[in-house]
Structure 1
């Protein structure tokens, strides 16, 4: 769970608003991608400097600036200066341990979300920060657009017949959040497949590796729950139509996203219960297996206790012991031991201990 605390100590003793990256270092160069559009106009390009974005501050077009990478502190200082974003908000953008939230200001709103996807069978939680202004949205990602969930959204914007080309900042904000929420269902489908595979495996064999995999899945569900649960509060704020920049005409779309969010949360809680059940099943299976082993060893030991007693008695080195000179003593002793063992086996079977 270090993903939620790692690097926070870097900020110790610094004044509020100090810009410092808190999170995993990718080593990648910061990328800036711009989509500028309206009903009959479209422009898409990559730029190398935040200075090239200044001309999009006061246009009639709808502009989406996507910045990938959080390690270029100088760039983020310029973003705050050029677009009038408070230094505390810029600090939150660079801190990837933020809880999903929404904050409303006079000229913009600030939203933090968690984008989740699988990479090599490992759950990856990436923070996405969104600043919504009039006719302008700036998104900030940890890694890059090649691995995000906005590919379909970009294709919709490129389509001249798409509804999004005729709408403003409110609808684009909805579309961004909806893309992230819809991807949660993709994650849940993969989690469900894993749970079904684990259930089948537990019916046949319960190994330590299987237990480790189930436990890792449980940790991943905790990550997912922490990322999704606060989202309900964010969507609820937006669907009430009280955020001036978003507008009330988009509230019906946020109601739909809210329903999806509640469904995701319910499914996560269901899966958490199922995974807890899998762990209980594994522990019960391991306990039953150990009981069977102990049962076998106990029966085996019980059979040999009287046999050990007999051979122990006749193994004593006294000179005057009865039956020592008996000609058929060895054969008789074998008959007694075999008969005793057979009787005990029949008794155990009758009691259904075998």
Structure 2
């Protein structure tokens, strides 16, 4: 029975725990839903998958996943370190091990069970990261760092756009998603959440004002997007072209970015089985493109353009920071434009390293 509960998604596990405590002893259904709303959907999906994998390993190894003890968590993390991923055959990264630990702790808290002590598991990760960092070959050392996407800077965007057919609704959508996503420094989930009425034209003709809900800082921002110097890569022109096309197709009041099939039609919902074997509906009823769909589109465009690397919707956000910093813009202005909190340490991680010469801090200090 415990194995079955541990294989449930986080929300089901938490609900079962509440039922065991009895009516009135825990959160109401409304309060529980409010708590779950504070956890990003992408995080919930990742943690669900990570904990399900942990529970399966426990079952095979004769261990208890819920509540798990410190030795079980340490053994599992050590197992991951020495076991290739089943999907790729490549080793897990230290970041993947960190996330597995976080998932185990999160499920225990959600189920109101004692959270296992993880000092031993974290020492395994620390040793693994040091081992990779000290390796002689570059590829091994890269695995010690977070698995970042490549930065879609303007030069890359021009390659992505070069062969795009912008006379079709799909081509207009793809161009606007690339250019507006870069201009807003938007996360994929923020970008696909935009509606046609999220876009307002500046009354003085300076560009667009885009109402974006910034999830990390939990605040709406009115982000200003100015005209680009090149019509081909101008985010304002690309967005206005898409809006006009949506109006012509009778969809001027709904999602800005739609699921569009290869025939130029709004793609219908579909169904598939998830990791737990449950049949789930894929795609929203209003035709809105998902964040995963946006990433898949960017990946396909990059492949078509012959660009190697890891390209996802977050490439647009990273590319904006890289380009803005290279143009000499202040980090505070960059952060506020892209929805980072002032003084965010995470923002520094988005800045691509140069060759050590152009922005060398020794320049101009009087030596």
* TM score, norm. by length of structure 1: 0.21
* Larger relative helix fraction: 1
Work out which of the two has the higher radius of gyration on C-alpha atoms and give 1 or 2: 1
| TM-score, length basis structure 2 | 0.21
